[in-house]
Structure 1
């Protein structure tokens, strides 16, 4: 059993937190925002030994750590976490990134919304908080969230949710695992469309429940739909574009949505390749992403330049 009996406020919820070489001080701060409320399973994705050792210092009756031998991607880590704690029979899994910070009332608000939606006849609601970028305070956009207003008390039906903070019914998490071929980017988007179409689930944002999260390394002073253009490293751009192209074959996503996502992603990574150093490396990775995406090559990578190292590009956090 991964957990010993221990007192937490919401014992029916197990948080699965995916880490990869986190800043330990920042992670402890994030962890402290939810650790007293729920059981926590930290799934480490191949961090350095000293980082894993520091994470194990957090182990207790209600917090467990499993260390994967290498970085297998966020989707694989979530699936490993679900399998690891399945025997404890939680009612919900709370999915979290390593730097996500909860407001004090976020988890109670998510549980309350999930219960209310079930009471209203929504059979398989998946709820998530309003994700806010830590530094800018800007709401992080999600597909189908036009019209969403921060602070509203009613759950807002949306097409997708952000992975971190997502409260997933345990039976749905087991029935519809994350698609490991995507590795990192668009894992949440693909999953939300898939469970809505094939598993009868419905996704909702709870606007008065807030989670703070860092997205990207920096931002360009160029706003798209009232949001800054976030800058990721070249390898992350590779996954973003390759997976957006790969989703063109996902027939459970509406055709217009698939093409809109792919074209927007191509435009975004092309702007970054033209404007942000190292430009030549970014251009090469964009080309590799298009080749692998069109050839249907999914997984970590297939066509990246020789010597490209995933670990050098901080794939976590988002």
Structure 2
């Protein structure tokens, strides 16, 4: 197996974790505390409260960075990564507050990067296959194709070149962070990971799905079923960001035409599923329209009612 071919020297990669908090409960705090037992952990808190680490219940050796307001996922990840860079770390593992990483994920993803560094292979990011039992079980990896997304079965013992990975559970090779640049703060939340992956690949770096590593991860709230298929559901505000950012990114020449064509097909489907099926349909529809309007006008950053 590929993972067994790694040399012991590959394990010398210094890896830290970045966990993004937003109004965490006690379970989120406990997960961060467990993670801090096995690697250096930076917790960036986007909650509006100004609690100290001890008041939250975090262990003393966690590096805690409260923002006092929601600055967005992109900014929080950037803050955590910069903290790890200042600490001399070589790789950063990114987690949502709900992420429950396995021991194999914490060791094997950095090992793939370490081996790539040894051989000069420009790997910017590695990530696991995601298992969400509420949806369709283990999700496939994705590549962009004309008018569709190619779904690749997460099997085998070799890393798989993909076009993007979601940020939670992924491992960033900090060797190339300054060349690629940070996550885009203005996107705030949705499509932040996709835009960064596109930028990395455009600069000649690889994004690798690691099929033998799995992570349990729930996307969104309670899913809805349409024609026998489950789709993750979010609140109206989250739909604002989804529609705004996809429209804003589709206007950019830097984004692949294959991705744009696939999103053109998916956009009306999303409108129907996310805005006409849930409760409070009018709220979802209004926020989706505001997102589309602001995306067309180039208004990014946090949502501000007008």
What are the ranges of 5 or more consecutive residues in structure 2 without an aligned counterpart?
1-10, 144-148
Alignment of 1:107-256 (within 5 A): 107-133=106-132, 135-136=134-135, 138-140=137-139, 142-144=141-143, 146=150, 148-175=152-179, 176-198=181-203, 200-222=204-226, 228-256=230-258
Give 1:298 deviation, angstroms: 1.0
Q: Secondary structure at the match of 2:137?
A: coil
Cα distance in structure 2, aligned partners of 1:54 and 1:272: 38
TM-score by length of 2: 0.86
Task: Deviation per CA, 1:95-114: give whole Å up to 9, x if none.
Answer: 11111111221122112222
Task: Deviation per CA, 1:8-49: give whole Å up to 9, x if none.
Answer: x97711101101012222441x33553332110000002434
Distance 1:107 1:255, change over 3 A: same
Cα distance in structure 2, aligned partners of 1:141 and 1:76: 28
Cα distance in structure 1, aligned partners of 2:264 and 2:75: 23
Cα distance in structure 1, aligned partners of 2:116 and 2:98: 29
Cα distance in structure 1, aligned partners of 2:140 and 2:188: 21
Of 108-117 and 286-295, more deviation after overlay is shown by 108-117
Aligned 8 A contact 2:113 2:173 in 1:
no
TM-score by length of 1: 0.83
Aligned 8 A contact 2:113 2:126 in 1:
yes
Give 1:142 deviation, angstroms: 5.0
Of 244-253 and 66-75, more deviation after overlay is shown by 244-253
Distance 1:98 1:140, change over 3 A: farther
Cα distance in structure 2, aligned partners of 1:233 and 1:102: 26
| Aligned residue number for residue 49 of structure 2 | 48
Distance 1:139 1:269, change over 3 A: farther
Give 1:241 deviation, angstroms: 0.6
- 4+ residue segments displaced more than 6 Å: none
Alignment of 1:11-26 (within 5 A): 12-26=14-28
Distance 1:234 1:10, change over 3 A: farther
| Aligned residue number for residue 93 of structure 2 | 94
What are the ranges of 5 or more consecutive residues in structure 1 without an aligned counterpart?
1-8, 307-318
Cα distance in structure 2, aligned partners of 1:53 and 1:35: 14
Give 1:164 deviation, angstroms: 0.7
Q: Secondary structure at the match of 1:102?
A: coil
Cα distance in structure 2, aligned partners of 1:288 and 1:218: 24
Give 1:58 deviation, angstroms: 2.0
Of 264-273 and 93-102, more deviation after overlay is shown by 264-273
Aligned 8 A contact 2:124 2:176 in 1:
no
2:274 aligned with 1:269, yes or no?
Answer: no
**Aligned alpha-carbon RMSD (Å):** 2.5
Aligned 8 A contact 2:54 2:60 in 1:
no
Aligned 8 A contact 1:15 1:38 in 2:
yes
Aligned 8 A contact 2:29 2:58 in 1:
no
